[in-house]
Amino acid sequence: MKQMSVAVIGAGMAGVGAARVMAEAGCRVVVFEKSRGLGGRCATKRWEGHLIDHGAQYFTLRNEAFSKAVRECCGADLSEISAPIMDETGRGLPDGGRFFHALGNSRIARALGEGLEFRTGLPVVDVDCRRISGEDFDVVISTAPWPQTAKLAGLAECKNPYAPCLALLLLYRGEWLGVTEGQYAVSDRSGHALAWSACENHKFGRVGKGITAMVVHASEKFSSERLEEDSVGWSEDLRRLVEERWEISPAALLAMHPHRWRYARMMEKIEIPAMPPGWYFAGDLLTESRVESAWLAGRDAALRILNGASDRI
């Protein structure tokens, strides 16, 4: 019997989850990723000698299958954040285990995808039937955020169900500045522009000596309103807010790096319309925007394809 060939678009958590299941079922699988690295929104920046997560900050291991897969492939690189996350009133938030990869959270995609065939730095721009880069595939599983998938699949313009997120990374001279030592992060759901601010030094071994590294995520409102603006203005506004909140002197600032996440988190579930024959969509949009949920969405989509479910996964 002919071996089924599968193209997976996107090497984020959903792509890696789907590709692994298809490969284990004996399919020939190629994962196409437009960026140079793996991980998608589970992203890490190597910056000035430090490793900073500018996408997913930490991951949970609530699901047994995900926990087992991550523990097996990450081994001693799996670490846990012990300092608390506070809300905007200074109350500690419940902690069910917040994990990170010692070499950067993007590494969990690499670890979970060990042995799979990746073609990175290769954006899929045009899919003629199921022909990608001159190769014909029996099945295409796209894990690119839905508006990008819909465009590739030649579907009519669709609603964007994701909220954007403006992110800012900051480096300061001096270790454990302000109130960074006592808390890992502040999660502010009050509508304040600074929805998330965190001190990366709590991911031990990631930040060099004599430095405080901070990560900031703006609220959905702030991010939506200022997404298309030049980054200088919104970076300055977020910088001022983080320094105020964490009692860090602006004089200690060494460097800033802005990043725009256009499709950061799902805002609403949508009905995925019928795709062209042999096409499937998987990703956090099918469940919720969390690292482990995205991997499970990819894995479950692949299982349903193997079980011969309909085109509408």
Binding of ligand FAD by 33 (CB under 6 A) = yes
Residues 173-232 that bind ligand FAD (CB under 6 A): 217
Residues 6+ apart with CB under 8 A from 244: none
**Helices vs. strands in the chain: H and E counts, helices first:** 7, 17
Binding map of ligand FAD across residues 260-289, x = CB under 6 A, - = no contact: -x--xx-----------------xx----x
Backbone angles phi, psi at 14, to 5 degrees: -70, -40
Distance in Å, CB of 193 to ligand FAD, minimum: 15
Rule CB under 6 A: choose which of 112, 167, 193, 305 binds ligand FAD.
Answer: 167
The stretch near ligand FAD (CB under 6 A) out of 49-57, 85-93, 132-140, 176-184 is: 49-57
Q: Both tokens of residue 241?
A: 């807010």
Query: Which pair of tokens denotes residue 38?
Result: 């793996």
* Interatomic CA distance for residues 164 and 254, integer angstroms: 27
Name residues contacting ligand FAD, limited to 123-152 (CB under 6 A): 123-124, 143-145, 148
12 binds ligand FAD per the rule CB under 6 A: yes
CB of 114 to ligand FAD, least distance (A): 17
* Binding to ligand FAD, residues 64-123 (CB under 6 A): 123
Q: What is the DSSP string of 240-292?
A: HHHHHHHT--GGGEEEEEEEEEEEEEE-S--PPPPPSTTEEE-SGGGS-SSHH
Cβ closer to ligand FAD: 88 or 175? 88
Instruction: Give the helix ranges, DSSP H, for the chain.
Output: 13-24, 64-74, 107-112, 146-152, 220-226, 231-246, 291-306
| Residue 197 host element (H or E) | strand 194-199
**Site size for ligand FAD (CB under 6 A):** 37
Question: Binding residue for ligand FAD (CB under 6 A) from 294, 296, 301, 313?
Answer: 294
Judged by beta carbon, residue 73 or residue 252, the one nearer ligand FAD is 73
Half-sphere exposure of 68 (CA within 13 A, CB side): 4
Shorter beta-carbon distance to ligand FAD: residue 33 or 243? 33
Selected range binding ligand FAD among 38-46, 182-190, 219-227, 305-313, rule: CB under 6 A: 38-46
125: CB partners within 8 A, 6+ apart:
none
Any contact of residue 238 with ligand FAD (CB under 6 A)? no
In this structure, how many other beta carbons lie within 10 angstroms of the beta carbon of residue 161?
16
The piece of 11-19, 184-192, 204-212, 240-248 that touches ligand FAD (CB under 6 A) is 11-19
Which stretches of the chain bind ligand FAD, using CB under 6 A?
Answer: 9-15, 32-35, 40-42, 55-59, 123-124, 143-145, 148, 165, 167, 217, 261, 264-265, 283-284, 289-291, 294
